[in-house]
Amino acid sequence: MQTSLTINGTARELDLDPRTSLLDALRHHLGLTGTKKGCDHGQCGACTALVNGRRVNACLSLLCMHDGDEVTTIEGLGQPGALSPMQQAFVEKDGFQCGYCTPGQICSATAMLEEIAQGWPSHVTEDLEAQPELTIEEISERMSGNLCRCSAYPNIVDAIRKAAGETA
């Protein structure tokens, strides 16, 4: 199945088995292994990537459905030596241990700050019509789609607050 899309700013043409997930296309065919496979069923968030600016589970999407889309993976957010502020904050706050869920956490956190800026409510937002604040409770709820078995959650929250310019 012929698919054309943009990944981290680069146009890509792929002709793959239609069964290929976006995640497996990245990992098996493009060498972009920063997007991780933790469960392959939308139950862990390790495969979180940005599609047209929104965070999604790359495992629950077929590559052929993304013709014309813009995909940003962890590799597109920063590189060693040129870390994004979120990546830097994760390093400083030890927002990971084994590192396997980390790219998904960082993609998710990066998108989350934008979602809050745009006023998206969450399950814990008290007033659905008010601008949500970057509280610990809001961050925790909004990051609950990214499991971390090393359980760096408190440090992940601190890292996100740091990246957002809050005191952590």
Task: Give, as ranges, the residues between 80 and 109 that touch other proteins (CB under 8 A).
Answer: 80-81, 83, 87-88, 90-92, 94, 96-103, 106, 108
- Applying CB under 8 A, the site for other proteins has a residue count of 96
The per-residue DSSP string of 97-118 comes to: SS-SSHHHHHHHHHHHHHHHHT
Q: Which of 7, 14, 157, 164 binds other proteins (CB under 8 A)?
A: 157
Q: Given the complex with other proteins, which of 11 and 39 has the nearer CB atom?
A: 39
Copy the structure tokens of residue 100. Answer: 């396997």
CB atoms within 10 A of CB 83: 15
Q: Which of 6, 12, 85, 121 binds other proteins (CB under 8 A)?
A: 121
Residue among 98, 113, 119 nearest 160 (CA): 113
Q: Determine if 128 is a binding residue for other proteins (CB under 8 A).
A: yes
Residue 3, strand partner residues: 14
Residues 2-41 that bind other proteins (CB under 8 A): 17-21, 24, 27-28, 31-41
